[in-house]
Amino acid sequence: MRCLPLFVIACLLCGVVTAPVWAQQLQCSPCRHGFNKVLIGNSGSFSFELSNTGSKAVRIASILVQGSPFSFGDFPLPAHLAPGASVQLTAIFTPTALGYTSGSLTIRSNAVDSSLELNVEGDGVADTSSQLAVTPATLNFGNVTVGSTATQQATLTATNGAVTITSDRTTNSEFAILGLDLPITIQAGQNLPVTIQFAPGTSGTGSGKAGFISNAQNSPTIEQLTGTGVPAGSHSVDLSWVPGDGNAVGYNVYRGTANGGPYQIINNALDASTSYTDETVASGTTYFYVVTEVNAEGQQSAYSNVAKAVIPGS
DSSP state string for 44-68? EEEEEEEEE-SSS-EEEEEEEEEST
Q: According to the model, what pLDDT value does residue 22 have?
A: 61
283 close to 235: Cβ distance less than 8 angstroms? yes
Q: Say which residues have a Cβ less than 8 Å from residue 57's Cβ, sequence separation at least 6.
A: 24, 80, 81, 82, 83
Does pLDDT of 7 surpass 50? no
pLDDT tier at 232, thresholds 50, 70, 90:
low
Sheet holding 204-214, edge to edge: 138-145, 221-230, 204-214, 163-170, 184-186
| Residue range 30-55: mean pLDDT, rounded | 92
117 close to 89: Cβ distance less than 8 angstroms? no
pLDDT tier at 69, thresholds 50, 70, 90:
very high
Q: According to the model, what pLDDT value does residue 103 have?
A: 95
pLDDT, tens digit, 9 for 90 and up, residues 252-287: 999 999 999 899 999 988 888 899 998 888 777 899
Pick 20 or 242 by higher pLDDT.
242
| Residue range 43-71: mean pLDDT, rounded | 93
> At 128, phi and psi to the nearest 5?
-95, 0
Distance separating alpha carbons of residues 253 and 266, to the nearest angstrom:
6
pLDDT, tens digit, 9 for 90 and up, residues 175-223: 999 989 999 999 999 999 999 999 999 888 999 999 999 999 899 999 9
Distance separating alpha carbons of residues 104 and 110, to the nearest angstrom:
19
Domains of the chain: 26-125 (2.60.40.10), 131-230 (2.60.40.10), 237-310 (2.60.40.10)
Distance separating alpha carbons of residues 301 and 130, to the nearest angstrom:
44
DSSP state string for 76-123? -SSEEE-TT-EEEEEEEE---SSEEEEEEEEEEESSSSSEEEEEEEEE
Distance separating alpha carbons of residues 312 and 21, to the nearest angstrom:
52
- The DSSP code for 258 is S
